[in-house]
Amino acid sequence: MVIDLNSGYKNAIRKALSHVRIVADPFHVVRDANKRLDDERKVAEEVYFALNNTRRRI
């Protein structure tokens, strides 16, 4: 069964349908990966500008 990454769905399906294989919805996996990468990029950018004592360019 394909589900999103919400653990509530996963727990409910495991109780009701213990025999099925659960896989993550690819859309949500990619969205989560992109969000995590963007968060890390923002941190790296802040560190870069802090270390170089420069302002952000628009």
Interatomic CA distance for residues 23 and 52, integer angstroms? 44
Mean per-residue pLDDT for 14-42?
93
pTM over 0.85: no
Which residues have C-beta within 8 Å of that of residue 54, sequence separation ≥ 6?
Answer: none
Mean per-residue pLDDT for 18-22?
91
Query: pLDDT at residue 8 above 90?
Result: no
Burial class, 9, CB count within 10 angstroms (exposed 0-12 / middle 13-18 / buried 19+): middle
Query: pLDDT at residue 39 above 90?
Result: yes
Per-domain residue ranges of the chain: 2-52
Give the per-residue pLDDT at 7: 74
Query: pLDDT at residue 27 above 80?
Result: yes
